[in-house]
């Protein structure tokens, strides 16, 4: 009996202070790898190869823990300004018809928020912000169900926390094409769309480029 109680106490102690493995990764570097996206047809024919630099999934848009968590993300707040790369036609559609609740950058607690949160509620239709090729639709760690669109010239957009995907990898989309339905999958406390703009692998504040 004494042995059983000791093991139970130890198990309780361990469980009481542990976080899931996914939560301990405060921002794993994720690099979708594909060829130069100048040709939509060629890009569509490729499979998406995702490399995660640390266990537990990709970088999360919002997660807090009292425990110290090692920073392994290669992303940082961007100082990018000026026009987007030549060859990219620009963002021509809002991905959701709702107000922005949380912006890009560092929060009060030092947590980096790599996109904008659009408070569209649950089940709203999320659309492509610009023409491009869908390179991934599915579960993506802290992002939950995400759709990723490559627009060429090093520009990508991420549409996160979806409740369902409506597009498929390899699909060519134009601005306004439905990609999925909003939700609260991944690290999200309320249904919304977390929208990111990446330029050459760096997260960039999308607000200056929104239509």
Tens digits of residue pLDDT in 116-128? 999 999 999 999 9
26 band by pLDDT with thresholds 50, 70 and 90: very low
Tens digits of residue pLDDT in 89-109? 999 999 999 999 988 988 777
| Closest C-alpha to 23, from 200, 162, 186, 134 | 186
Tens digits of residue pLDDT in 120-168? 999 999 999 999 999 999 999 999 999 999 999 999 999 999 999 999 9
CA distances from 80 to 31, 76, 90, 197, 199 (A): 19, 11, 15, 11, 9
Residue-range domain boundaries for the chain = 2-209
∠ CA(10), CA(68), CA(79), 5° rounding?
A: 155
Backbone angles phi, psi at 134, to 5 degrees: -70, 125
| Closest C-alpha to 148, from 95, 104, 93 | 95
* Global confidence as pTM: 0.64
Domain 2-209 top-level CATH class: mainly beta
pLDDT of residue 180: 98
Residues in the chain: 211
14 band by pLDDT with thresholds 50, 70 and 90: very low
Tokens of 97: 């018809």
| Closest C-alpha to 152, from 41, 27, 19 | 41
pLDDT of residue 105: 82
Secondary structure class of 190 (helix, strand, coil): coil
Please state, for a pLDDT cut of 70, what percent of the chain lies above it: 61
Tens digits of residue pLDDT in 66-77? 222 222 233 344
């Amino acid at each position: 009996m004494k042995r059983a109680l000791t093991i139970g106490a130890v198990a309780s102690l361990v469980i009481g202070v542990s976080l899931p493995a996914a939560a301990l990764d405060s921002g794993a570097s994720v690099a979708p790898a594909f060829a130069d996206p100048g040709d939509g047809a060629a890009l569509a024919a490729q499979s998406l190869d995702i490399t995660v630099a640390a266990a537990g999934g990709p970088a999360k848009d919002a997660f807090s823990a009292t425990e110290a968590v090692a920073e392994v993300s290669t992303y940082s707040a961007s100082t990018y300004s000026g026009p987007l790369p030549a060859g990219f036609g620009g963002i021509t559609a809002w991905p959701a018809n709702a107000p922005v609740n949380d912006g890009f950058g560092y929060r009060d607690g030092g947590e980096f928020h790599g996109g904008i949160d659009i408070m569209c509620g649950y089940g709203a239709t999320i659309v492509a912000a610009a023409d491009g090729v869908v390179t991934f639709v599915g579960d993506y760690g802290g992002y939950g169900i995400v759709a990723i669109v490559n627009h060429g010239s090093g520009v990508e957009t991420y549409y996160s926390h979806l409740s369902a995907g409506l597009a498929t990898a390899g699909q060519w989309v134009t601005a306004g094409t439905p990609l999925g339905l909003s939700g609260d999958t991944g690290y999200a406390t309320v249904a919304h769309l977390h929208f990111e703009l990446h330029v050459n692998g760096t997260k960039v504040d999308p607000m200056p480029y929104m239509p």
